[in-house]
Amino acid sequence: MGQMKSKIALIIIPVLLALTLLLATSVSSAWPAPARQFIVVIDAGHGGKDPGGIGHQGVKEKDVDLAIARLIEIEALSEPELKIILTRRSDVYVPLRERTGMANRLGASLYLSIHANIHSDRRVRGTETLLPESWKGRSFRSLTLARNLQANLVRELWSRDRGVKYQRLYLRWSQVPAALVEVGFLSNPEEARLLQSISYQDRIARSILASIKDFLGLRE
């Protein structure tokens, strides 16, 4: 009797497997392919030999930047129109020219660099978005992107709005619309605590993703 059962199982299992496979392929072919895929380059600031800012209780900026960049990539998995390329996926240093070079070479729709801030006064807090000084009065696409990022982040995080600012930045090498977000201050004990929590990092990631979709006209 036991032998009979195992014989039936021998027949039924392959049949079930074949059916599952058939169903899976028919479902995937019915799924509409995106009309266009936008390449978005996300840069986690610093890395490797360059820790970035060292914040409250020794937190390293490079680790926070990478965690947020990776969460953006994960959140974008449910967006078939977006192809996220990270400039680094681990604790390595990538030269700045190479980072913007990636976006230029790929003809990306936009380049976004993720950073966290440091100030000698630990009371200083808030979010700001930076653009290269040399883009002042031009690169209006990047200014639109920066303003949207800044507004969405401040609203989502309830953080102090430090605005969109122009600074001397390597981002000037980008030939595609670009911005750099400073999501908060690691020198501020409260923001350092928040910036190390996955739930806060994920709120940042989702807010940034919403801005990317706004910029690309992918939001209903």
Binding site for Zn ion (CB under 5 A): 45, 52, 115
C-beta of 115 vs 213, nearer to Zn ion:
115
Q: Which residue is nearest to Zn ion (CB)?
A: 115
Residue 12: how many other CB atoms lie within 10 Å: 10
Residue 172's Cβ-count burial label (10 Å; 0-12, 13-18, 19+) is: middle
d(CA 56, CA 64): 13
d(CA 118, CA 110): 26
Contacts of residue 4, defined as CB under 8 A and 6 or more positions apart, other chains included, come to none
C-beta of 82 vs 102, nearer to Zn ion:
102
Q: Are 151 and 207 in contact (CB under 8 A)?
A: no
Tell the smallest beta-carbon distance from residue 205 to Zn ion (Å).
17
C-beta of 56 vs 115, nearer to Zn ion:
115
C-beta of 38 vs 185, nearer to Zn ion:
185
Tell the smallest beta-carbon distance from residue 100 to Zn ion (Å).
15
Q: Could you tell me where the DSSP H helices lie in the chain? A: 2-30, 61-75, 96-106, 140-157, 189-195, 198-216
C-beta of 38 vs 200, nearer to Zn ion:
200
Tell the smallest beta-carbon distance from residue 107 to Zn ion (Å).
26
Tell the smallest beta-carbon distance from residue 82 to Zn ion (Å).
24
d(CA 48, CA 40): 23
Tell the smallest beta-carbon distance from residue 175 to Zn ion (Å).
22
Tell the smallest beta-carbon distance from residue 207 to Zn ion (Å).
18
Which residue is associated with the tokens 């700045």? 96
C-beta of 82 vs 157, nearer to Zn ion:
157
